[in-house]
């Protein structure tokens, strides 16, 4: 089955800068020799944009499609895309259980958009069946349809004062969060759009579609703390 790329992703991809900016270069120098390998779940969705961003930061990225790909990775990104399709493919490739176990054992993981849906303990909808790991309830397509996609400058707790330009594409939001959840960002109306629980990070939006790499750098710092 061929899943068409949503039009706004195509637009965002055209804008995706290929060049390393001054500040990214500094970070690149800092992390180049760390030897980190970050897996990117590559079943469906915009995994390539995450891989390109990681490579710009000097981190090795590894596509994860099969259970054996989970070996020798320091962290994992679950990208945006279509969570129902990803969940079907997780089952088809027998990846669901080994992935769950790795994350329960402490593998740092970051779910963006559809990835966040998959991480959740509970969804407002019946489908898909999520991995059920992060103590959040998530509402899929909460902002509306493709046409209701939007961009906004967001303040994010772990990134300091400077806002991040965030892209929301048929995005989910977090309806409720358990006591262990650290809320990292809310929209002006109070909607929760980024959160962290131990080794798990979740964002409703897509930092891989812009040139600002700070969210990826933050995830890299979470990984570094985990392996210290
Ligand atoms: N609406 C999609 C889903 O339910 C997620 C959209 C995205 O990842 N940009 O899976």
Query: What is the number of structural domains in the chain?
Result: 1
Per-residue pLDDT band for 145 (boundaries 50, 70, 90) equals: confident
In a domain, 10, yes or no: no
In a domain, 17, yes or no: no
pLDDT tens by residue, 146-156: 888 899 999 99
Q: How far apart are CA 87 and CA 123, in angstroms?
A: 13
In a domain, 191, yes or no: yes
**Cβ(78) – ligand 1 distance below 6 Å:** no
**Cβ(61) – ligand 1 distance below 6 Å:** no
**Cβ(211) – ligand 1 distance below 6 Å:** no
pLDDT at res. 14: 44
pLDDT tens by residue, 157-210: 999 999 999 999 999 999 999 999 999 999 999 999 999 999 999 999 999 999
Atom number of ligand 1 nearest to Cα 115? 8
pLDDT tens by residue, 17-67: 444 445 555 555 454 536 899 999 999 999 999 999 999 999 999 999 999
Atom number of ligand 1 nearest to Cα 140? 4
**Cβ(95) – ligand 1 distance below 6 Å:** no
pLDDT at res. 144: 87
CA of 61 to the centre of ligand 1 (A): 22
Residue 141 has pLDDT above 60, yes or no: yes
Residue 113 has pLDDT above 90, yes or no: yes
CATH of the domain at 142: 3.40.50.880
pLDDT tens by residue, 70-80: 999 999 999 99
* Residue of minimum CA distance from atom 2 in ligand 1: 82
**Cβ(170) – ligand 1 distance below 6 Å:** yes
Residue 134 has pLDDT above 50, yes or no: yes
In a domain, 30, yes or no: yes
In a domain, 96, yes or no: no
Contacts of 26-30 with C-beta under 8 Å, sequence gap 24+, read: 27/57, 27/58, 27/213, 27/217, 28/56, 28/57, 28/58, 29/58
Active site residues: 113, 206, 208
Give residue 202's domain range: 22-91+108-227
SS (H, E, C) 39-66: EEECCCCCHHHHHHHHHHCCCEEEEECC
Q: How far apart are CA 185 and CA 191, in angstroms?
A: 8
CA of 26 to the centre of ligand 1 (A): 33
In a domain, 4, yes or no: no
In a domain, 39, yes or no: yes
In a domain, 102, yes or no: no
pLDDT at res. 32: 53
Task: Please name the residue that has the structure tokens 């402490």.
Answer: 106
CA of 71 to the centre of ligand 1 (A): 27
């Amino acid at each position: 089955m061929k899943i068409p790329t949503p039009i706004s992703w195509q637009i965002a991809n055209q804008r995706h800068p290929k060049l390393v900016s001054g500040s990214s270069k500094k970070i690149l120098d800092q992390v180049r020799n760390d030897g980190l390998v970050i897996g990117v779940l590559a079943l469906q969705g915009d995994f390539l944009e995450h891989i390109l961003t990681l490579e710009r930061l000097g981190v090795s990225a590894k596509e994860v499609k099969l259970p054996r790909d989970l070996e020798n990775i320091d962290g994992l990104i679950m990208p945006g895309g279509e969570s129902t399709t990803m969940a079907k493919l997780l089952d088809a490739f027998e990846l669901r259980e080994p992935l769950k176990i790795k994350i329960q054992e402490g593998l740092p993981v970051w779910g963006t958009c559809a990835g966040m849906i998959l991480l959740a303990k509970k969804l407002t909808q019946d489908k898909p069946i999520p991995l059920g790991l992060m103590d959040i309830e998530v509402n899929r397509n909460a902002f509306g349809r493709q046409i209701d996609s939007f961009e906004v400058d967001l303040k994010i707790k772990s990134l300091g004062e400077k806002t991040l330009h965030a892209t929301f594409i048929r995005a989910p939001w977090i309806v409720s969060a358990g006591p262990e959840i650290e809320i990292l960002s809310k929209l002006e109306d109070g909607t929760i759009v980024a959160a962290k629980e131990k080794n798990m990070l979740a964002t409703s939006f897509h930092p891989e579609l812009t040139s600002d790499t700070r969210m990826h750098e933050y995830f890299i710092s979470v990984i570094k703390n985990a392996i210290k």
